[in-house]
């Protein structure tokens, strides 16, 4: 039962961190405007796919979870 409690606390902290990131996402100047982010704008059409930003976030999260796994042992 204690493992479930630890999991819920960690999951809650991750949700809080994600919420804070979403609040301040617009204030980080380079996210969404990196080279490689796809932005197509026409008269009645707007398409935006943050490819490079997604890769960067994936790398950062991979490093964070890797470090958590190392310190967990």
* The predicted structure's pLDDT at residue 64: 86
Q: Which helix (H) or strand (E) covers residue 70, if one does? A: helix 51-72
Domain boundary assignment for the chain: 1-27, 31-73
Closest to 68 measured CA to CA, from 13, 2, 1, 22? 13
Residues of the chain with confidence (pLDDT) below 50: none
Name the token pair of 25. Answer: 């996402």
């Amino acid at each position: 039962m204690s493992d479930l409690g630890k999991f819920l606390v960690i999951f809650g902290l991750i949700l809080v961190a994600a919420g804070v990131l979403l609040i301040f996402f617009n204030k980080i100047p380079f996210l969404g405007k990196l080279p490689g982010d796809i932005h197509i704008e026409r008269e009645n059409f707007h398409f935006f796919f943050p490819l490079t930003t997604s890769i960067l976030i994936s790398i950062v999260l991979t490093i964070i979870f890797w470090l958590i796994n190392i310190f967990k042992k």
